[in-house]
Each structure stands twice: as C-alpha cells, then as structure tokens.
A and B are shown apart, each in its own frame.
Chain A
Amino acid sequence: MTSILPSAAIYEGTRIPSRVPTILDVDPAKHDPEDILRVNFGPNHPSTHGVLRLVVDLDGEQVAGIRAVIGYLHTGFEKTMEHKSWWKSITYPARIDYLSFHSNELEYVLAIEKLLGIEVPRRAIWARMALAELNRIHSHLVWLGTSALEIGAISLFWYAFDDRDAILDLFELAGGTRFHTRYVQVGGLAEDLPPGFTEEARRFCEQMPRSVDEYEALLDRQTIWLERTKGIGLLSAADAIALGQSGPILRASGVNWDLRKNMPYLFYDQVEFDVPVYYNGDVYDRYKVHMDEMRQSVRIVRQCLDRLDETEGEPWIADDRKVVLPPRHELHTSMESLIHHFKIVTEGYTVPEGEVYVVIESPRGEAGCYLVSDGGPRPWRVKFRPPSFAALQATATAVQGCLVADLVAVAASLDPVMGDVDR
C-alpha cells in the first residue's frame, strides 16, 4: 500500500494568505497600487458555474488579489428542513447539490438510519451504490463538459451531455424522474428496481469507458488544452488538507485519500476499484483524476449490477412498519396498514434523540451531514458539510501567479456547485 501523503511537495512552504486564508491581498512590494484595476467577475457570468462572484484585483493581466463572494443562491434549506418531518425533508438534500442529487439524498438518509438503527436489506444497498456511482459519472460529465467549454473546447460539451443523458435515462427508469429522484427511502428504496434495469445499465457500462477514451483523446493531444491546464492553479498537499479540500482536488494534490477506501461505508469494502492519485496539484491533474474516476465508477457499477442480479426478488426495503410506508395494495385490505400509512404521512415517524455526523464520498468529496434529533418527528438541526463550500476557500491560494484568463480554468477545476455552496 502506498502512503497517504506524498513524499515531495509541489512548492516550498505554504501559499495560504496569512491575514485571511480566503482573501488574497494585493502585495504592495510586487504591485504598484496605482496600476491595480478592480474587476467584478460574476455573479452573473456564464463561466462561474452558477452565481459565484470573484472580486479580482488585476495588475495588467496578472491576478494580484482575489476575494470570493458567495451567498447569492442561499435559500435556507437547513431552516426549512427543521420544519418538515423526517420523511418529507428527504426531498431537500437532492436540491442542494443538484449535480450529485443521489449522493446528497443518500448521505441524509444514512444519517437518519444511523439515528434509527434500522437495518437495510442488501439489495437496497447494492442499488444505492450502483446509483451513487452512476451519479458520480453524471456529475463528472457535467464538470468535464462545462469546464472544457469555458476553456474553448465547445464540442466536448455536446459529447459529454449525450452520455449524461444516458445516465439520466437510467435514473428515470429507476425512480421515475431524471434527477432529484427521491429514490432513497429510509430503510431502503422507494421502489424496487424495474425489470430490465440491469440490462440497460450494462449497455451503458459497455459504452462509457469507450467514451472516456474518446474524450481523453480529444483533450490530451490538444496543445491549447494542455497549455491552459498544466501548471495552473497549484495546490500542495499540505495546503489542500489545511484548507479542508477533499475528493478529486485532494487526490490531484497527491493525497491518496478516498472515504470509499479509507473509511468504507455501504458495501464499498466488497468491491474492487482503484483510487486515482496525481501529484502535480494543477488543473490538468484534477482533470485526470475526474477521467480516471469515471472509469473506476464504471467498474464499481458492473460489480453492483452482478450483485443486483443475484439478489433479484429479495426485499428492497426494511420491514419496519413504524418507519417504512406499507405496500400500496395493503391499504385496501388492512386497517392496520392504513393507520400506519396515515401516521407516517401526517405526523411522521419519530427518531431517537441524539446527534450524528455522517460523511460519504460524493462526486465532489467529503459530503457530511450533521443531524440533531430531540426524539420528535422533525429534525432539530440539520447541517450539511458541502464539499464545494470548502473547495471555494482554496481560490485565494490556487490563483496565485495566475493570469486573468486562467481564473476561469482554476475556478472550474475546483468544481463548485453554487447550490451546494450557498444552500
């Protein structure tokens, strides 16, 4: 096993700004204050992946200072969820990080299940894993398409969105909607996977690795792409950890860390896959990590599909009538089922008192959910740990020495989803 931390650093010492870690102040020793031009980049700008605002101090084309301003998409999800029953609030997390909807839903449901101590049937766990990995590919494809678009590689956007569509078709097949599926239910899944799902998913798994090869061929031999990504947006392993970075950003800085391997949850300890690690900590390496992760996710999906075929016909949700909705057909014949249905839908189920912090490896990295329950039918406090939020804290460190044109590439490589940042 290779060690977790890299042996060589990308640059000497730390580059985190000393006054405020997230604000790069103009250094009067390097730049004449007379030459500085302050520019607002965003919040309404097509290449900011939503409504990110960067206040940039420019010296000619050089970025001399930067400050990220967020909050333009703050909608108060956490406050709203405190006012919904546990059962109803499951719809919200998917809308926080709208690209990794399934992962967010999963993380919230896993936290509720931890408080409840409910056991989930294995078929449901394999289905959750298969969909989580499909969701990862989906999120990475959107990242790839939009990031390449921003640097000028327009055609890749259409290719990537074609494959993304195939994944959304699979989600539609499983949950009935293309995203924000609310397919994960406390205790298991909302419904069993439909017949034919594994065949469709296998067809996708056949085609996807070929697509990744094609995308890589399109970009890796293109001088413009290489020149605009290599050596740009440097982040050393020590700085990345200090700034709370996770997921692909951390692995591109040489840290061999993936929660699926290092602190396994679901059945990730029972599947074979590799964790891609790159050591230069630049935009190019973050791109390479994303590409390799898509290949590895296909590998995991294949193994999950085999297990789903083996567990065909097994239960897909726990048999706990105090928490899980009774089967629809029983409502017409059983008084008790009708009462349970009524109680769960109106009042909701109660969750034992306590606090938990559940973290999973979402497409963007460490996605955490802190839950406090007072023993009632509603969450007392819900707090999400958004990986994009932490990622944007690294802008002031990563853009040092960049030109204004690189700004777009660096911001995109941090893969922020503004819904996730602002909640």
Chain B
Amino acid sequence: MTEYAGVPGLVETREAYGEVTLVIDPARIVEACTYLRDVAGFNMLSDIAAADYLGWGEPGVAGYIGTSDGRDLNAPGSQGHARVPDPKPKRFSVSYHLLRISDDPARVRVQVWLDDGESVDSVIRVWPAADWFEREAWDLMGIRFEGHPNLVRLLMPDDWEGHPLRKDYPLGGEPVRFSEEEA
C-alpha cells in the first residue's frame, strides 16, 4: 500500500478481496498513469472497464427489464438485497486494470469517478493498448476521453444512438426492423 503513496492525484486507496484500488482525481489521470508506468513499473494496461451506477441501491432498478416504452416487469422490492449497498461518489466509474510484467508481478486498479457529461483525459499516449478499450467505453457507456485521436464507435454501428450499457438504456430498447405498422 505504501508503494502507491506517491501517485499523483491520489484521492483514496482501498483494498478489498486482495485487490488494491487507487481512486484518482480525473484531472490528473495521465500524470498518475505515467507515474505508475515509469516509477511503479506497471508496463501493461490489461483492461479499461466502465460501470454505470445509476439507480445503485434503489430497489427495482438493478434488475430493470423494460422495453422502449419503459415498462418495468419487475416489482420493486423483489431484488433480494440483504442491505442497501454503500453509496457511490458519482454516476460512472472507469477502472483501469494495470499489470506489472516483471519478476515481481502485481496488479492494481486505477479508478476515476465521473458524472454524466464529464470527461477524462485519454491514456493512449501512456499505453497504446488504451485505443480500443477507450473507444469501447465511449461506444457502450458514453464516457468521453479527451485527447483520443479517433474516439468513434467501435462495436455498435456508426449511426447508432445512445450508449447501450448505460442503466437507463433498457433491454429490448433496440428498434426491430419492419415491426412498425405500414401507414
């Protein structure tokens, strides 16, 4: 834990399930990642995972099953929560999973928190591997990465609207071709 004390922009260090999470100020993510690569030796970016916490802790939303009309098939309160989960600081988290390929291997999770509309600087200049991972997070979760030279959709079609992995994007919200009644 102490080896991460010098990471720039460090907000909080957490350890759970044997994994270390470094929460970083989004404004200093590039600085922090450069430090982790050059000083702490994390030479590989394993993954970038974005998560949407809209409705976190509210019964019903976790299992929201709906259509484009917003029909909720699940009665609230049937979610089986033993307790209300701890609140999250903002709506979105972006987790960078780093790996140190050396004789002293280690993994660390770097996390930034963002609200809708907020953006974070791209780490593509630190690890080129970030290219598609950031595009995927933009495409499916709508996280903007400033300074990415080619931030366009990756998995969804170019003309797609919305970001499907967001919690307010319903399952079944995809338009079905030829299902409209002919006028």
Residues of A within 8 A of B (CB): 1, 3-5, 16, 19-23, 70-71, 74, 76, 78-80, 83, 114-115, 241-244, 255, 257, 262-263, 347-348, 350, 353-357, 359, 366, 368, 370, 372, 374-378, 380-381, 383, 385, 389-390, 392-393, 422-423
Q: When chains A and B are docked, how far (Å) is the Cα of A257 from the Cα of B100?
A: 11
The CA of A377 and the CA of B74, in the complex, are separated in Å by 13
For B62-100 the 0/1 string (1 means CB < 8 A from A) is 110100000000000011111101100000000101010
- Is B105's CB under 8 angstroms from A389's CB? no
Contact (Cβ within 8 A) A74 B171: no
Those 5 A-B pairs whose CB atoms lie nearest each other, nearest first: A244-B129, A21-B128, A385-B47, A383-B49, A71-B155
Q: Which residues of B contact A357 (CB under 8 A)?
A: 19, 46-47, 49, 95, 97, 107, 109
Asked if B17 is at the interface of the complex by the 8 Å CB criterion, the answer is yes
**Distance in angstroms between the alpha carbons of A348 and B39 in the assembled complex:** 45
Contact of A263 among B49, B105, B131 (CB under 8 A): B105
Partner of B65, one of A3, A83, A262, A356: A83
Partner of B82, one of A4, A83, A244, A375: A375
Asked if A244 and B127 sit within 8 Å, CB to CB, the answer is yes
Measured between C-beta atoms, what is the minimum distance from B21 to chain A in Å? 8
Q: A355-B109, A356-B19 are in contact. List 13 more A-B contacts (CB 8 A).
A: A20-B150, A70-B154, A74-B155, A242-B43, A242-B128, A244-B127, A262-B101, A347-B78, A357-B19, A357-B107, A366-B99, A368-B47, A383-B49
Chain A residues near B132: list those with CB within 8 A: 22, 389-390, 392-393
Q: Do A244 and B80 touch (CB < 8 A)?
A: no
Inter-chain CA distance A390–B56, complex, in Å, is 31
| With contact pairs A244-B45, A359-B46, A393-B129 given, residues A350 and B51 touching in the complex (Cβ less than 8 Å) | no
Q: Does B57 contact A (CB under 8 A)?
A: yes
Instruction: Judge whether B46 and A385 touch: CB under 8 Å.
Output: yes
Does B175 belong to the interface (CB within 8 Å)?
Answer: no
Question: B149: CB under 8 A from chain A?
Answer: yes
Assess whether A348 is in contact with B85, with CB atoms less than 8 Å apart: no
Q: Which residues from chain B contact A20 at a C-beta distance below 8 Å?
A: 131, 149-150
CA distance A262 to B99 in the complex (A): 12
Are B51 and A372 in contact, CB atoms less than 8 angstroms apart? yes
A242 and B127 form a contact (CB under 8 A): yes
Query: Which applies to chain B's interface (DSSP): helix, strand, loop or mixed?
Result: loop
Interface residues of B in 125-162 (CB under 8 A from A): 127-129, 131-132, 140, 149-150, 153-157
Asked if B124 CB lies within 8 Å of chain A CBs, one says yes
> How many angstroms between the C-alpha atoms of A383 and B140 in the bound complex?
11
With contacts A83-B171, A380-B62, A393-B131 known, is A353 near B86, CB below 8 A?
yes
Chain A residues whose C-beta falls within 8 Å of the C-beta of B80 in the assembled complex: 347-348, 350, 376-377
Given A21-B131, A354-B17, A385-B47, does the pair A376, B103 have CB atoms closer than 8 Å?
no
CA distance A117 to B81 in the complex (A): 18
Do the beta carbons of B79 and A377 come within 8 Å of each other? yes
20 examples of A-B residue contacts, CB within 8 angstroms: A3-B103, A20-B131, A70-B154, A71-B157, A79-B171, A80-B171, A242-B43, A242-B44, A242-B127, A242-B128, A243-B128, A255-B101, A347-B80, A353-B85, A374-B85, A375-B82, A375-B83, A381-B49, A385-B46, A422-B155
Distance (whole angstroms) from the CB of B146 to the closest CB of chain A? 15
Cβ of A245 to closest chain B Cβ, rounded Å: 8
CB–CB B101/A376 < 8 A: no
- Binary A-proximity of B20-60 (CB < 8 A = 1, otherwise 0): 01000000000000000000000111110111110011000
User: Which residues of A lie under 8 Å from residue B52 when comparing CB positions?
Assistant: 381
Inside 8 A of B9's CB, which chain A residues have their CB? none
